Amino acid sequence: MPPTRQNQRRPLFSLNDHTTSNASNFGALSREKAPGQQAECRCSTMAVTLFLLLVLALPPAPSAVALTAEGLALLAFKEAATEDPYQALSRWSESDADPCHWPGITCANVSSSSSSPSPSPPRVVALAMAGKNISGYIPSELGSLLFLRRLSLHGNRLAGAIPSSLSNASSLHSIYLYGNRLTGGLPAAALCDLPRLQILDVSRNALSGQIPLDLRNCRSLQRLVLAGNAFSGEVPAGVWPEMAGLQQLDLSSNNLNGSIPPDLGELPRLAGTLNLSHNRFSGPVPPELGRLPATVALDLRFNNLSGAIPQTGSLASQGPTAFLNNPGLCGYPLQVPCRAVPPPTTSPAPPATTAPFASTGVASHDHQPIKTSLIALISVADAAGVALVGIILVYVYWKVKDRNDGRRRRAAGKDTDDDGDSSTKSGLCSCMLWRRSGSSDESSTDDEEAGGGDSKYNSGGTAGGEEGELVAIDRGFRVELDDLLRSSAYVLGKGGKGIVYKVVVANGTTPVAVRRLGGGGGGADRCKEFAAEARAVGRIRHPNVVRLRAYYWSADEKLVVTDFVGNGNLAAALRALQCANVITFEFNPLTSVSSK
Domain residue limits, the chain: 69-111+120-330, 469-574
> 150, 171 in Cβ contact below 8 A?
no
Q: Is 578 exposed, middle or buried (0-12, 13-18, 19+ CB in 10 A)?
A: exposed
- Write down the CATH superfamily of domain 469-574: Phosphorylase Kinase; domain 1 (3.30.200.20)
Q: CA-to-CA distance for 265 and 293, rounded, in angstroms?
A: 9
CB atoms within 10 A of CB 306: 14
Cα dihedral sign for 399, 405, 407, 413? negative
- How far apart, in whole angstroms, are the C-alpha atoms of residue 445 and residue 493? 37
Q: Which pLDDT score, from 0 to 100, does residue 506 have?
A: 65
Give Cα separations from 502 to 110, 140, 480, 563, 565 (angstroms): 62, 61, 16, 10, 10
Q: Are 237 and 212 in contact (CB under 8 A)?
A: no
d(CA 66, CA 60): 11
Same fold? 69-111+120-330, 469-574: no
DSSP assignment, residue 68? Answer: P
Non-local (6+) Cβ contacts of 303 within 8 A are 276, 277, 278, 279, 280, 281, 282, 325, 326
In this prediction, residue 428 carries a pLDDT of 38
pLDDT in the model for residue 87: 93
Q: What is the pLDDT along the chain (596 residues), one digit of tens a residue?
A: 444 434 444 443 333 444 344 444 444 434 444 555 555 556 566 766 766 666 555 554 444 345 788 899 999 999 999 999 999 999 998 888 889 989 999 999 887 555 555 667 899 999 999 999 999 999 999 999 999 999 999 999 999 999 999 999 999 999 999 999 999 999 999 999 999 999 999 999 999 999 999 999 999 999 999 999 999 999 998 899 999 899 999 999 999 999 999 999 999 999 989 999 999 999 999 999 999 998 999 999 999 999 999 999 999 889 999 999 999 999 988 888 887 544 434 334 444 433 333 333 433 343 445 667 778 888 889 899 999 999 999 999 888 888 887 777 666 655 544 443 433 333 334 444 333 333 333 333 344 433 444 444 344 433 334 467 788 887 777 777 777 777 777 788 887 778 888 888 766 667 888 888 876 666 677 788 888 888 888 888 888 888 888 888 887 788 888 888 877 666 666 665 554 454 444 444 444 444 44
Per CATH, the number for 69-111+120-330 is: 3.80.10.10
Distance separating alpha carbons of residues 379 and 363, to the nearest angstrom:
27
| Cβ neighbours of residue 365 closer than 8 Å, sequence gap 6 or more | none
205 burial level (CB within 10 Å; 0-12, 13-18, 19+): buried
Bridge partners (DSSP) of residue 491 are 501
Q: What is the rounded distance in angstroms from the CA atom of residue 491 to the CA atom of residue 583?
A: 9
Handedness of CA 108, 112, 118, 120 (dihedral sign): negative
Nearest to 100 by CA among 48, 36, 134, 145: 145
- Is 375 strand, coil or helix? helix
Nearest-angstrom CA–CA distance, 462 and 483: 18
- What is the model's pLDDT at position 208? 96
Confidence at residue 299, expressed as pLDDT on a 0 to 100 scale: 94
Q: Rounded to whole angstroms, how far apart are CA atoms 319 and 307? A: 17
- Supply the Cα-derived Rg of the chain in whole angstroms: 45
CB-side exposure of 269: number of CA atoms within 13 Å? 14
Task: Give every CB contact of residue 196 below 8 A, 6+ residues apart in sequence.
Answer: 149, 170, 171, 172, 173, 220
At position 122, the amino acid (one-letter code) is P
Contact in structure between 302 and 277 (CB atoms under 8 Å):
yes
Q: How many residues does the chain have?
A: 596
Closest alpha carbon to 311 in 150, 59, 494: 494
Residue in 400, 164, 184, 590 with CA at minimum distance from that of residue 175:
164
Residue ranges in 429-542 assigned as alpha helix (H): 441-449, 481-486, 523-538
* Helices and strands in the chain, H and E counts: 12, 26
The answer to whether 202 and 225 are in contact (CB under 8 A) is yes
**pLDDT at residue 453 in the model:** 44
User: Which residues neighbour 444 within 8 Å (Cβ) at sequence distance 6 or greater?
Assistant: 420, 435, 453
C-alpha torsion 210→216→222→223, nearest 10? 0
CB atoms < 10 A from the CB of 168, how many? 19
User: For helices 21-30 and 3-13, what crossing angle results, to 10°?
Assistant: 150
Query: Distance of CA 570 to CAs 50, 378, 516, Å?
Result: 85, 56, 18
pLDDT at res. 431? 42
Looking at residue 570, what is its pLDDT? Answer: 63
Residue 233: CB atoms within 10 Å: 13
